[in-house]
Amino acid sequence: MPDDPRLSLILALADDELILGHRHSQWTGWAPHIEEDLAFSSIAQDEMAHARMLYRVARESGLTDRDDDALALGRPPEEYLNAVLCERPNGDWGYTVARQYLYDTADAIRVQVLGDSSWRALADAMKVIELEEKYHRDHAVTWFNRLAEGPSLTARERFAEGLTTAIGEAIAVFEPLSGEEELVSEGVLPRSNEDMLGDWLGELGEALEASSLDYVLARHGPVGEMVPTGSGEIPVESVDFTVPGVVRRDGRWMHEGAFAGAGGRRGRHSEDFLPLWEEMTALYRAHPGAKW
Amino acid sequence: MEPVTYEESSAAFKARIDAGEKIEAGEWMPDEYRQSALKFIEMHANSEVMGALPEGTWIPRAPTLKRKLSLTAKVQDEVGHGQILYRVAEDLGKTREQMFDDLVNGRTKFHNVFHYPAESWGDVAYIGWLIDGAALVNQKALLDASYMPYVRAMRRICPEESLHLRHGEELVLELVSGTKEQRALFQDAVNRWWQPTMHFFGPPSKKKDMLLYWGIKTRTNESLRQEFFSTYVPKLWDLGITVPDDRLAWNEETGEWDWAEPDWDEFWKVVRGDGPMTHIRLAQRKTVWDTHAWVREVFAGMPEAA
């Protein structure tokens, strides 16, 4: 882990944008709809450009002597601090849009909070990023409404499946950083991740409830079904699929206890990260010092 | 006298084209003209979206952030050209959905060069400079085509392609002035891509080429290929890159480039849809198309069929 918690913070931010931008860009030329192909390519470019901007801030602030390419493409896998959510393969369009919705609504909160950071260079970068992230959020919300509100039931189900898959790991976008207490006390991170998570989950819960999609936060099932066996049909045991660490209390969804899918902020990744890393960095690593 | 028969109307239409008049979308046109224009523009559109794929495979592997960003933007432009061209084609009477469905099911064609794999970053540089260069030679000639909506599309597309060309040229210059391995990447790409590039211009045009007859195309395959030679071969030689054609030389007497005929059997094989990457790319496209029919439902705002 980086010694300076500021480096942990900025790498977490930049790596999220890089890795998710990388995933988004894999739809370029492949998206299931041509206008969407164009839109998603733009979002991918924005995210990757934000990563580059943040890597540069890290260097200009004296936290590292590595340039943006060395940071983006030249680190060993365990030094990447992105949330696991960002590294997952694109899956189908339902998962892709669900992840983009969850990520960009979460990112919006963090970007706004960091706009008030006592670390001036970071705050300035966040102000620039915020201008573009607004469009990502509009894109995500438009899709949310289209998919959740019909008229296609298949679309709603695909989206709900995507949300169900992504939600636990989306919560871990707010996994605490190493040295977070110090960052908060110095005003570098004006509000703790736990606080930001509370805001995000509250908003998310409201949006999901408004579309009757809050079941993705608390899935109990399959209740009441019958399973045929040799000795007749027996009721299926009810399985609790509630997302770990999420509860509804006093009319509001909130975080309590554990994180699912966490580890990214400590450089611990899923099985999907290594293949991504290999592909993304192979050419850069194969030709040290080359110009392209 | 007003034309009265179909033949007379067609003849009057042909006379307008020969006089350099432009045709607009809603106008009367001979069916042969409509079919030829649609087929040609549809193939152009297909080629833009299929052309996104070989280069697209290198977005995740780009060697720097700058290149990752610029390649994403470049491929995005190609998809955007596809979007523009499908719209032009749609006005001739075929829906985009049908065109895409025909494409993914192998019923329509796309340019031969997009049936090949992009094996290295050298290929990305080659495609960016010389495939885009070849395409630009073609597309500039289309600025003078008879179908005005197509001309307007070309007026939007050509400036972007010129930008791609500079992008490609920059990639090539970095490689040839880089390490030995980088230089070899580009030379290897030239060796593999030269023949498909020759194929790209097609065999020498037939005496009566429908597309030329109707002014949908304005120049013969051979004249376009010659322009490509004149523009790019001296540059390649200046860079110390070998072109894999022993006969390639400027002929003072004929005022043209001599060149060796490529393997046309290979060309026809690819045109028939049997290139090295044809089946894989179409199968992947078809998978996305088939498994995401629900996305199209959402866009169409149509309720699901029961």
What is the average per-residue pLDDT within B138-157? Answer: 97
Nearest CA in chain A to B167: A292
Q: Helices marked H in chain B — which ranges?
A: 6-18, 31-56, 65-90, 96-104, 121-126, 132-141, 148-176, 180-200, 210-213, 221-238, 264-271, 278-291, 293-300
- Identify the H or E element spanning A220: strand A220-221
Task: Report chain A residues touching chain B, CB-CB < 8 A.
Answer: 22, 25-26, 28-30, 32-38, 41-42, 44-45, 48-49, 51-52, 68-69, 72-73, 92-93, 146-147, 151-155, 158, 276, 279-280, 282-284, 287, 290-292
Please name the residues in contact with B4: beta carbons below 8 A apart, sequence gap of 6 or more.
none
Written as six digits, the tokens of A13 are 């931010």
Report the pLDDT value the prediction gives residue B306, as an integer from 0 to 100.
43
Per DSSP, what are the bridge partners of residue A255? A246
Residue A208: which CATH number?
1.20.1260.10
For residue B286, the Cα-to-chain-centroid distance in whole angstroms is 21
Residue of B nearest to A284 (CA): B63
- Packing angle, helices B132-141 and B221-238, rounded to 10: 140
Architecture of domain B14-300: Up-down Bundle (1.20)
Instruction: Report the length, in residues, of chain B.
Output: 306
Count of domains for chain A: 1
Q: Which residues of A touch B298 (CB under 8 A)?
A: 146-147, 152, 155
Q: What percent of chain A has pLDDT over 70?
A: 93
Residue A258 has what pLDDT? 81
A179 falls within a domain = yes
pLDDT in tens, B258-287: 999 999 999 999 999 999 999 999 999 999
Residues in chain B with CB shorter than 8 Å from the CB of A68 are: 65
- Total H helices, total E strands in chain A: 10, 6
Distance CA A170, CA A15 (A): 15
**pLDDT > 90: percent of chain B:** 93
Residue range A210-227: mean pLDDT, rounded: 75
Task: Give a yes or no: residue A259 inside a domain.
Answer: yes
In this prediction, residue A239 carries a pLDDT of: 61
ipTM, interface predicted TM-score of the complex:
0.94
| Consecutive H or E run containing A72 | helix A68-73
Is pTM beyond 0.90 here?
yes
Please report which confidence band the pLDDT of residue A227 belongs to, taking 50, 70 and 90 as the band edges: low
A137 domain residue, yes or no: yes
Report if residue A292 sits inside a domain: no
Mutation choice for B interface testing from A26, A41, A52, A149 by most B CBs within 10 A: A41
- The DSSP element (H or E) to which A41 belongs, if any, is helix A34-60
CA dist list (Å): B128 to A104, B235, B269: 33, 15, 25
Domain, as residue range, for A265: 5-286
Residues A171 and A246: beta-carbon distance below 8 Å: yes
Residues A24 and A93: their CA atoms lie apart, in Å, by: 11
Spatial CA neighbour of B225 closest among B246, B194, B252? B194
